[in-house]
Amino acid sequence: MDLKDFCFPVAERRVAVDDFTSEFVDWGNENSYLQNDYKSIVRDDTNEVISIVRDSYKIITNETLINELLQFLAVSGEEFRIDESHSFVHNNRMRLMITFPNLTLHDSDSDINLSLFLHNSYDMSEGVRFYFGAIRAICANGMIFGEILGRYYSKHTSGFNLEDFSEKLDEAKAHFPEIQQRISMLENMSANEELVEGISKKISKRLADQIMEEHDVNRISQWQLLNRVTNYISHDVDKPHRARHQRSVSQLFGI
């Protein structure tokens, strides 16, 4: 996976408002006047305007984030790989997945490797954040352990640091017995219509209807139901929309 795609240059530019159209335009028009409390974020290599943001917004570049994370991982002693399966980059947003092949959980069918999902944006749609989760080897299903492991979040107006990442990774490893126990519990608990209703409301009514057609939900386990849902999210949902659904799964199934 070529990380150069994530590390394109960005710059701040002044913003003007056209007197005649009242639309945002690039600075330089003498008939325009500057809006002092706004600025534009521009992709510097292509001159594309990404967003208009308040002056308080502080750019945290993808390149800075990724370099700091990789530098930490390089000395952490943990083997890791950049995982393309749930990573994406657009001008305004990115998500980078890191998988730890030696930090492994299990269900009755598959290894489940601990993963990290790093997020950033240039349009105020979200701050810098990372979630710990996992990817199931047998089917590349991605999931988030948001209820058990939580997340790190930093607003762009306040800057960021990843100094606590080492502590967060140690916490994630320390919670492995709890996560493994939760997986085992879900494998031994029957699914029910209430969970399917939650899937319908929070993820996809169409998926919930398909599940009801395909299965007697009282005869499958909650873990089987969870994997049916994560398979849908991991293979049928566009990458930029997966995180929201993965967080919903985390809440519904208590992982």
pTM of the model: 0.88
* pLDDT at 23 (0 to 100): 53
Q: What's the distance, CA 251 to chain centroid?
A: 15
Task: Give the residue, 176 or 1, on which the prediction is more confident.
Answer: 176
* pLDDT at 160 (0 to 100): 62
Q: What's the distance, CA 188 to chain centroid?
A: 29
Calculate what percentage of the chain has a pLDDT beyond 90. 72
**Whether pLDDT at 225 is above 60:** yes
d(CA 105, CA 48): 43
d(CA 57, CA 41): 10
* CB 169, CB 114: distance < 8 Å: no
What φ, ψ does residue 80 adopt, rounded to 5°?
-150, 160
* pLDDT at 104 (0 to 100): 97
d(CA 215, CA 175): 32
Going by C-beta distance under 8 Å and a sequence separation of 6 or more, which residues neighbour residue 138?
109, 110, 111
Write the CA distances from 126 to 54, 57, 118, 129, 163, integer angstroms. Answer: 14, 12, 12, 8, 20
Average pLDDT over residues 116-133: 92
* pLDDT at 24 (0 to 100): 52
The least confident of 51-65, 108-122, 195-209, 212-226 is 51-65
**Whether pLDDT at 73 is above 80:** yes
d(CA 23, CA 127): 26
Residue 248: name the closest of 209, 201, 194, 210 by CA. Answer: 201
* pLDDT at 163 (0 to 100): 67
**37-72 tens-digit pLDDT:** 889 999 999 999 999 998 888 899 999 999 989 988
Average pLDDT, the chain: 89
